């Protein structure tokens, strides 16, 4: 039962963008894990930029670094909006 949790800075998504993201993630997970699409769950959570460090970076990237298969390419402090790092 794979579960994917995506956290991002706030932005509006169209229904088509949501569908594309869900389809792409589901395809990748079902291919990799060899499971049916019905067993995949996906959560998408918007996190305000000012809360990113305390709610995402520290608890999920620093404290659980051993679980990361891909690390972000930014350094602390978190880049500000408008720097091309969405």
Whole-angstrom Cα distance, residue 55 to residue 64? 13
SS3 24: helix
27-39, pLDDT tens digit by residue?
Answer: 999 999 999 999 9
User: Residue 86 has what pLDDT?
Assistant: 43
Asked if 53 and 77 count as a contact pair (C-beta separation under 8 A), the reply is yes
User: Residue 75 has what pLDDT?
Assistant: 73
Is the pLDDT at 64 greater than 90, yes or no? yes
Asked if 45 and 7 count as a contact pair (C-beta separation under 8 A), the reply is yes
Asked if 49 and 78 count as a contact pair (C-beta separation under 8 A), the reply is yes
Is the pLDDT at 76 greater than 70, yes or no? no
State percent of the chain over pLDDT 90.
Answer: 84
């Amino acid at each position: 039962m794979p579960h994917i949790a995506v956290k991002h800075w706030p932005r509006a998504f169209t229904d088509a963008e949501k569908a594309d993201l869900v389809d792409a993630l589901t395809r990748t997970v079902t291919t990799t894990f060899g499971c049916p699409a019905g067993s995949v769950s996906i959560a998408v959570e918007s996190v305000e930029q000012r809360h990113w460090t305390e709610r995402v970076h520290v608890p999920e990237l620093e404290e659980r670094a051993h679980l990361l298969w891909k690390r972000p390419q930014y350094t602390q402090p978190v880049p500000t909006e408008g720097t091309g790092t969405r």
